[in-house]
Structure 1
Amino acid sequence: MAIANVSRFLDEKAESQSEVAALMVPRGRTSDGAIDYLRLSFRELAAEQNEWARRFRSQGIGKGSRVLLMVKPGLPLIAICFALFKIGAVPVVIDPGMGLKSFLNCVRRSQPDFLVGISLAIWVSRVFRKSFRSLKGKVKVGGPLGRVAAEFREEAAEETLVDDLAAVLFTSGSTGAPKGVCYEHGMFEAQVEAIRAQYEIQPGEVDLPMLPIFALFNPALGMTTVVPEINPSKPATVDPKKIVQAIEQCGVTNSFGSPALWSKIGVYCDSHDIELPSLKRILMAGAPVPPSMMKQYRRILPNGHVHSPYGATEVLPVSSVSDDEVLEVAAERSARGEGTCVGRLLPKVEAKILPLCEDALGADALANPLPVGEIGEIVVTGPSVTKAYDRLEEATRLSKVIDGDRVWHRIGDLGYFDGDGRLWFCGRKVERVVAESGTFYTDRCEGVVNVHPKIFRSALISYSENGKTVPALVLEPFAGMYPNGHDEEETLLNEVRALATKSEVTQGIEHFFLHKGFPVDVRHNAKIHRLSLAKEFAGK
């Protein structure tokens, strides 16, 4: 079995790009209003990694140790993650915004050996002692600017294999309880190579990652990480002015974030007639990207493009689609109710569309995929596909298909391939509405009504009428466009009804509701909690 350790990427860049900025962490403003950054070179970041590795080893943390990481985005987060990789320990990363009850459930299930965290994290572990009873030790970490290394000193890396556990990353829990996903060192390497090749990322580029975990790819890609001024537990509260300032001041070439974030930034750029010429690419993910937003960014990015990678915590990336392909081919088809185009599969990734099934699947199910154009369950295999959930045997059994030495992941999404090899997303399996009149799919139905100029987004939900399940659409107007009074509400609802009757996909929908702000996931603030909406409108 081949030896691989993710930490080697930072060690390599400490040699090949020793004086290039690896990390820029905001620490205030200068007298002229510019962002004041703590700047570390790749060699200095590697020194931080090595010092943390030594400290952890002295605390008894080593190969196979599970380490719950509760650190704010910034210098310690990246340095500590690579230090844990280096010594063969396993960082356990749980979203901070999922709520205390869910968070504590995740801690109990993952059974960490050590806690590495800020003062608040140490306090939480004391107050909720039962949830943290597996801990053997705790290591306190300072703030986002905290440095520990005075000079560069070598530190040997543990010899880990490609299939050794590297990290446990938790899903957002947007359509169920959060689950820990087991990542191996080889899977991280496959992700790095896939992202580098797909988007033609070059060493020396500058990245602004608006999901903290994505900053971990940058040392491997040779990109400078600019830490954004953002609350990771509530990303949609971002101040777009601060993001635009960082992009302009640092010459950012690449950025990742959810459509909810880029929607706010786009409105700000339009209202101030701002272009962002340094950006080569924006990666928008976490929820489908409206074609209207891609069109909006055509003006904002004179030298760049929007890309939407598709995948999940368990398998990323699967496919990718660019703004060109969406606007030239897919947008019109989405408006007709054909779903959301998520592009073509990346090299080395294979996907099949299987008939819907709620039970576990064996390898024989892979032999009879559905034909082109027919909607079914998306299953994926490839070098970055994870093999198991952490300590959840039943969830692993239901989500994985073992095919010899290959593992296929049932992504939980529904879709189909078109005749040109593009993958189309039709919605989550658990969110489809099965009625007497047929099956309704979220992204097909919502795409029809989302073209209305006053509708920001919509949500297909299951609704009960006379004891029978029927589909309904909940509509969220753009900010500032919510109707004033009953008459305006009825006018807008009637306009959307008329739009829906023109498509075979939505003709069977008779119930429409308005909503001022959808419940969304904690990670991206973009995935709609349709099941929660269904409960909210039950009986109305």
Structure 2
Amino acid sequence: MNVTALLGDRAVAHPDRIALIDRVAGQWRTTTYAQLEQASQRLAAHLQQQGWRAGDGVLILQPVTADLYVVIAAVLRLGLIGIFLDPAANLAANLQQFPPRALIASRKVALWRWRYPPLRSLPLGAIADRWLTDSPSSEVLTTRYDAPAAAAALVAFTSGSTARPKAMLRTHGLLLAQHQALKPVLQFRAGAIEATALPLFVLPNLAAGLTVLLPPVNWRSPGQTHAQPVINALRQHRAERLLAAPALLQRLTDWSLARGVSLPDLRHIFLGGAPVLPALVAQLQQLAPAAEITAVYGSTEAEPIASLRHTAITATDLARVQAGGGLPAGQPVAAINLRILQPQVDDSARSLSPAAFAAATQPISQVGEIIVSGAHVLSSYLDPADNARCKLRVGETLWHRTGDAGYLDTQGRLWLLGRCRGRVQDGAGTIYPLAVEAIANNYPGVRRSALVSLSGERTLLIELAAPTNLEPLRQAITPLGVHRLERCRRLPVDRRHNAKLDYAVLERWLARRR
């Protein structure tokens, strides 16, 4: 087993098909499947000659270009473990969790790495961004490491938006299972041009034979992306599909609709990485009238969990959102098992008997924590201590506790109510964040909001995108027991998708207010 075999199959079947379109030094560049395969073979041979063997960890510091996927393919081909750092975390702290044996970096990073003590001692295995252009070696490695399903493939980190970033080890088996789980959701169509602004999804797209356009986005902060170059790229390359986080798509719709710009070539838009609001879906329908819009719910540990097409959202659903019912996430995907765990189940619970588990799960329409299991769900964090809060064993099945609150409706669809840790409990009962925030965030002029408790009073913090009359919003949330609105200059969000509230920062801010 080796996930790169799928890429090799594509190179054999369609060698001249364009695999990647990226922008380098101000110019567009195309890479065919044959070129991707050959470049990764050359790099793999080079790394093997240096003495790196299966199981060795390799730190990868390379921007999101075609070169990055050459490196990933070469690393996985050899059975090495690719390590990706969380940009929001301390470099030394990340490296302590999984110390690498070598570094593969861009020319730029290779020059400045001496300024960072954690990188100085790492041997430079290769310059990442040279194997497609001025390869220093013509030798190739055509064989692949035959990896057991449990063999480590990639180490990455959770976003840290809801807790300390945790190191995750993805195996070859998990990557292949994730690819299979994504197939019915993303409806892969070989040869279609997809603009992919979520780096995690590029590898599955390549394995499916798509042509992946890497748009000129701000990869470190998607919500700060300049929209015009991205729109121009989508139009120039006639992208048929677009996959991105809501924060980026909001930037694109705001810019385009203000100028009467549309994307008639788009046939599919996929959103992931943060809650998807009905208002954004409506704007995307204006931007791309011919596109089918699909919201994909998941987490770093389990992607995908559920999906929802915009055509399945009814007027009744929208009324439920406005009444405090949260946001619809759609039917759980076929590859996943999903339950709703009762809120009173302690965070420290490590295992339950099957009978106790059955008694601890919620019936239809009752709120609790969303938990999942399946072949594409991460079974363990790198540090076993991180499993204490997030993993629950029931017999032979290991369940992942997402930390998200939600419920299943009578149609079996999942509804989201926000982070469990964000719920407010007071004399009036318990209220979950998205019950209120989904109403506010859908309101004209509101960029984002946060439900909190200030001085024992339910309070909605509001960050505005434009001046607006908040009185109708105040009236809409009063039935939910929220009587206080407070404007904020800026609410803290995660650095990865720029959309989810950063609860660690928010809680520190609230502690100073109390």
Q: TM-score, normalised by structure 1?
A: 0.89
Counterpart CA distance in 2 for 1:427 and 1:54 is: 47
Alpha-carbon shift at residue 181 of structure 1 (Å): 1.1
Question: CA–CA distance in 1 between the matches of 2:194 and 2:497?
Answer: 18
Q: SS at the partner of 1:142? A: helix
Match of 1:73 in 2: 64
Range with bigger deviation, 150-159 or 243-252: 150-159
User: 1:17 maps to what in 2?
Assistant: 14
Does the CA contact (< 8 Å) of 2:296 and 2:329 recur in 1? yes
2:377 to 369, 385, 390: 385
- Structure 2: which amino acid aligns with 1:372? I
Of 342, 350, 358, which aligns to 1:361? 350
Kindly indicate whether the alpha-carbon contact (under 8 Å) linking 1:433 and 1:471 is maintained by their aligned counterparts in 2: yes
Q: Distance in 2 between matches of 1:226 and 1:312?
A: 24
Q: Which residue of 117, 133, 136 maps to 2:105?
A: 117
The match for 1:63 is 54
Structure 2 partner of 1:533:
506
CA shift, 1:436, in A, is 2.9
Q: Is the Cα–Cα contact under 8 Å of residues 452 and 496 in structure 1 kept in the other structure? A: yes
The aligned counterpart of 2:483 is 510
* 1:304 corresponding residue in structure 2: 291
Q: For 2:495, what is the secondary structure of its paired residue? A: coil
- 1:247-291 CA-to-partner distances (Å, cap 9, x unmatched) read 111121222211111011011221222221222211111111110
Counterpart contact for 2:477–2:483, Cα < 8 Å = no
Tell me what 2:253 maps to.
266
Question: 1:136 Cα deviation (Å)?
Answer: 5.5
User: Aligned partner of 1:524: which letter?
Assistant: H
Amino acid at match of 2:46: R
Work out which of the residue numbers 229, 232, 235 in structure 1 matches 2:222: 235
Task: State which of 228, 247, 254 in structure 1 corresponds to 2:234.
Answer: 247
TM-fit CA distance, 1:331: 2.1
1:193 paired to 2:180: yes
- 1:462-477 mapped onto 2 (5 Å cutoff): 462-463=453-454, 465=455, 469-477=456-464
CA distance in structure 1 between the aligned counterparts of 2:139 and 2:261, rounded to whole angstroms: 42
Partner residue of 1:371?
363
Q: Shift of residue 395 of structure 1?
A: 1.3
Moved more, 213-222 or 136-145: 136-145
Query: Which residue in the other structure is 1:496 paired with?
Result: 473
Structure 1 residues 33-432: aligned runs within 5 Å: 36-96=27-87, 98-99=88-89, 102-122=90-110, 125-129=113-117, 131-132=118-119, 135=122, 138-142=125-129, 146-148=133-135, 153=140, 155-356=142-343, 357-364=346-353, 365-368=356-359, 369-390=361-382, 392-432=383-423
Q: Distance in 2 between matches of 1:144 and 1:178?
A: 32
1:128-181 Cα distance to aligned partner (Å, 9 max, x none): 32x458845543333797552887955200110112111112111001111111
Which secondary structure does the structure 1 equivalent of 2:313 belong to?
helix
Q: Cα offset for 1:359?
A: 1.2
Structure 1 unmatched runs, 5+: 30-35, 484-491
Asked if the contact 1:255/1:282 (under 8 Å) is kept, the reply is yes
- Alpha-carbon distance in 2 for matches of 1:62, 1:384: 26
Structure 1: distance between partners of 2:427 and 2:505: 23
Q: Distance in 2 between matches of 1:198 and 1:152?
A: 39
For 1:149 and 1:230, locate their aligned partners in 2 and report how far apart those are by CA, in whole Å: 30
| Equivalent-residue separation in structure 1 for 2:262 and 2:123 (angstroms) | 52
Question: In 2 relative to 1, CA 147–39 (structure 1 residues): closer, same or farther, beyond 3 Å?
Answer: farther
How does the TM-score come out when normalised to structure 2? Answer: 0.93
CA gap of 1:147–1:75, structure 2 versus 1, over 3 A, is farther
Counterpart Cα distance in 1 of 2:152 and 2:30: 31
In structure 2, how many angstroms separate the alpha carbons of the residues matched to 1:120 and 1:386?
33
AA in 1 matched with 2:340: I
State the alpha-carbon separation in 1 of the partners of residues 41 and 357 from structure 2: 46
Q: CA deviation at 1:85?
A: 0.7
* Identity %, equivalent residues: 26
Asked if the contact 1:20–1:204 (Cα under 8 Å) also holds between the matched residues in 2, the reply is yes
CA pair 448-26 structure 1, distance change in 2 beyond 3 A: closer
Describe the SS at the equivalent of 2:463. Answer: strand
For structure 2, the 5+ residue unaligned runs are: none
The yes-or-no answer on 1:448 pairing with 2:439 is: yes
Secondary structure at the residue paired with 1:241?
A: helix
Q: Structure 1 8/449 Cα, relative in aligned 2: closer, same or farther at 3 Å?
A: same
Separation in structure 2 between the aligned mates of residue 91 and residue 303 of structure 1, nearest angstrom: 39
The number of residue pairs the alignment matches comes to 508
Q: Distance in 2 between matches of 1:182 and 1:111?
A: 13
Q: Distance in 2 between matches of 1:157 and 1:144?
A: 18
Q: Indicate conservation of the 8 Å contact 1:69/1:115, yes or no.
A: yes
Kept in 1, the 8 Å contact 2:278–2:442? The answer is no
Residue identity matched to 1:104: A
Could you say if the C-alpha distance between residues 349 and 510 of structure 1 is closer, same or farther in structure 2, counting changes exceeding 3 Å?
Answer: same
Deviations 1:426-448 (A, max 9, x none): 11112112223222210011123
Q: Is the 8 A contact 1:295 1:327 kept in 2?
A: no
Structure-1 separation of matches of 2:77 and 2:15? 19
Question: In the alignment, is the contact (CA less than 8 A) between 2:44 and 2:140 conserved in 1?
Answer: no
Kindly tell me: are residues 402 and 149 of structure 1, through their superposed partners in 2, closer, same or farther at Cα, counting changes over 3 Å? farther
CA contact (8 A) 2:294 2:308 kept: yes
Residues 208 and 372 (structure 1), Cα distance of their counterparts in 2 relative to 1, 3 Å cut: same
Bigger Cα displacement from structure 2, 523-532 vs 238-247 = 523-532
1:519 equivalent to 2:506? Answer: no
CA distance in 2, matches of 1:79, 1:137: 17
